[in-house]
Amino acid sequence: MLVWTDSRSQADTSLFRLGNCFPTRFTAREAVFSVYFKDCNFRRMVNWYPVIYEPVFNTYGQGDLVFHISLMNADFSGPAETTSFRLGSFIPIMASVDQRTHQPLLLLLEECLASTSPELHPESYLYPIITNQGCLVDSKVSRSKFEPRQKPSEIRLSLQAFKFALGQQVFIHCSLVAWDPVGLDKTKKACHYVKDHGWELLDNAALGNLCDCCDSSCKSRKIRSTLSAYWSFLFIF
């Protein structure tokens, strides 16, 4: 018998899995597995540890712009069926903006940071995911990537679960930007790193040089458009 205990109130122990086995019974703080490992197709992976996600999803509005953020299933066809991910697996995240009466908008993830605190402080323990105004820096050390767009007002991120602050709650803070689709520049872009190739721009391969600054500092002399809007959202895992 194996008893998996979690002291965090956010964890849903009914979603805990041992290999492909469901809990034999569970309470608010623990899941009990009365099984043999071999019956669950369980193989212990090197450097494996369970990561339990309890995302806080919010909808934000500014004027007639409304932003959404969701944790999705593997093919982004619907909401996630579980909030449990193993180290190295992909966490599908999708954000969108309702355009309403606006002209077409391009949604971008400007910055994402993982932190051990619900609010960012100078003393916060941080892990950069997206920095430098749209550069997915985590993709240089992982298989994280932006997925091809289905529509401009939506952006999809496959974030590879990473090892960070073991045993602690981890918060992911992100800033979203709604932008003019024809106004891409070094500060308004979505770039990820492809092994043996380098930085790639998500939206227009012909403008791939906009990602060249991802290893230095991305700045632009252009005047900021009034179509931009900024919001932050939070994941807890």
Summarize pLDDT for 3-34 with one digit per residue, the tens: 666 544 455 666 666 666 777 777 776 777 67
Strand order of the sheet with strand 154-160? 59-62, 65-71, 90-98, 154-160, 145-146
Q: Are 164 and 235 in contact (CB under 8 A)?
A: no
Phi, psi of 130, rounded to the nearest 5 degrees: -125, 125
48-81 pLDDT, tens digit each: 333 433 444 444 444 567 778 788 899 999 888 7
pLDDT digits (tens, 9 = 90+) for 211-229: 999 999 998 655 444 344 3
Tell me how far CA of residue 155 lies from CA of 57, 158, 163, 206, in angstroms.
16, 10, 24, 20
The count of other CB atoms within 10 Å of the CB of residue 103 is 8
pLDDT of residue 212: 95
Report all structural domains of the chain as residue ranges with CATH numbers, in order of start: 1-44 (no CATH), 48-236 (2.60.40.4100)
List, for residues 159-182, the tens digit of each pLDDT value. 998 877 666 677 777 888 888 888
Task: Give the pLDDT score at 147.
Answer: 96
